[in-house]
Structure 1
Amino acid sequence: MIDQTTAEADLLPFRAALRHGPLTTTVPRELVHRAAVAEVMLTDWRRLTDTHFAMTAQWPRGHSFFTPVDGTHHDPLIAAETIRQIGALLAHAEFGVPFGHQFLMDKLALTVHPEELRTGHTPAALDLDVTCTEVKKRGSRLAGLCYETTVLREGRPAASGRFSFTVIAPAVYRRLRPERVFDPGHCPVALTAPVAPQTVGRLSPADVVLSPTGDQNRWQLRVDTRHPVLFDHQVDHVPGMVLLEAARQAATAVLGGSSILPTRLACEFTKYAELDRPCLIDALLLPKGALGDPDTVLVTGHQDGEPVFSTTVTAASRA
């Protein structure tokens, strides 16, 4: 039996911390559409005006999927995921969208500053300044949102992004996609073999989202619904973050390095990427406007001959 005096003594540090202010924790995982608490980046938020919000977040020194680039910089896609989570949180917690509604990402633009992405001896503590630039409503319900975010690390800009999405009510979603909603008959396409991880900036084949097709700079999207981060919970289409990772990996392959540090990403999603049909990914190195300009790769995805998404990936110049 634990001595009562000892137990009381063990609690003293926690009680002292509570007297000096709240302890840091993540926001509820449900608010950011994550099943695993470990995948929640946001830690707090505060409404400043009807369209202006202050938030905080944390990036871990290491992550099972968003691994540091070259072991020295936080993965820019963890910035994209952090900003994505903002939209879900605002929709539910500030604009009254009930759980169960579907969110369709429309566009995203991300810029990062490599000098502020360097990993340190502790997790990166971040302040987020968020402004909603377009709030679309259908009656009293939120129908869509566009917001701009500045990510500050110790007061200095580390990243900025502009994201937009559409909100779809469950009844409408069922009418739009009756054959997809919770229909076990629509199984994902068979899992295809990955390309060599080192050619797309990955260490593990499990994290590769491209499969070879035999054509140069063309791949099939590799859909592994068992992946614990990319498919954190059950969905009926390929998540936008999977397509963004496919763009990053395709750009890495075209540029011929073991890894790249994307400094700018601009992505537009035109339709759902279905789980049960092959999706082809093409990449094209764009011509430079001037000598010394960074490399930019255009990545597109097509399914059944129709465009699904397009992304431009700009990579930091290598020393």
Structure 2
Amino acid sequence: MKLKSSAVITGIGGYVPDSILSNSDLEKMVDTNSEWIVSRTGIKERRILTDKTLATSDMATWAIKNLLDSTKVSADEIDCVIIATSTPDHLLLSTASIVCDKVGMTNAWATDVNAACSGFLYAYTLGSSLVEGGRYKKVIVVGADQNSAIINYKDRNTCILFGDGAGAVLIEPTTDGTGLIDSVFKTEGKGREHLLVPGGGSKVPATAESVAANKHFIHQDGRVVFKAAINGMTDTCKAVLERNHMTINDINWLIPHQANYRIIHAVGDHLGLPADRVKVNIERYGNTTAATIPLCLWDFKNDFKHNDNMILTAFGAGFSWGATLLKWGKLRTA
């Protein structure tokens, strides 16, 4: 009897820019202070792509190269690349196609996914489905965002939150019982007014007036997003556990979207999960949107053991949110 194949993460790569924007730096730019930022968000610093000749595709490229180097997989072995981003290099042209060219992945087809902070989870499930179907053997999924390109550094409510970065995972088939188990995703378009970049799309094309009105920067109603994120992430984590006849006691690790430490702490508390089983690196990177979860996997990969049960959960613009349940496999080693 042929064993059913599932999709498992076999490699991880990451990239964050060298340039650090600290809370002390922000104190010189807007009316804020480091103590307040840390107490309200947990963020101490964030990484910024300061070279104006570079973009999201460059960070994604370096994350993939880091992944390929660590796994000794060649670029021409990759079948598909899915990039989750809400800061593409260009409209019309997919960032994934640019990345394929820069990395030299000549045998891969590629596409972008935009679900904001939930983007990596959505793309990870899509990529896993391609592998589970048996048609593709090696799929790379990337979360990458250059948030500094859409941040108004005169707006103290948003500029303290976001940073730049990219994380990538390699997904391959396995029959050892590890890999993606299930996902529960939700979308509520009525939430769009509370978190978006109003300008730059077909509804509000770029004009001198739209630029002057700061419509090309992130606008966020923090209170609405805060409450919705806690409820959405908690509810979908519980739903994916219930659907798979598991309890929180079966979970070794929670990897939450790194938007705000208070959100992360509240979700862990609502689930009844001890803080030492919740992975957090927001203090060093801030909110890197689609990159937060893969960067957490990259940072803490040495903590994860074969067969560990994990939940990845996120909430983002759209509103979009969800939770993914997986069993950790074995990473390729160089």
TM (norm. structure 2) is 0.26
Which structure dedicates a bigger proportion of its chain to strand? 1
TM (norm. structure 1) is 0.27
The structure having more radius of gyration, on CA atoms, is: 1
Which structure dedicates a bigger proportion of its chain to helix? 2
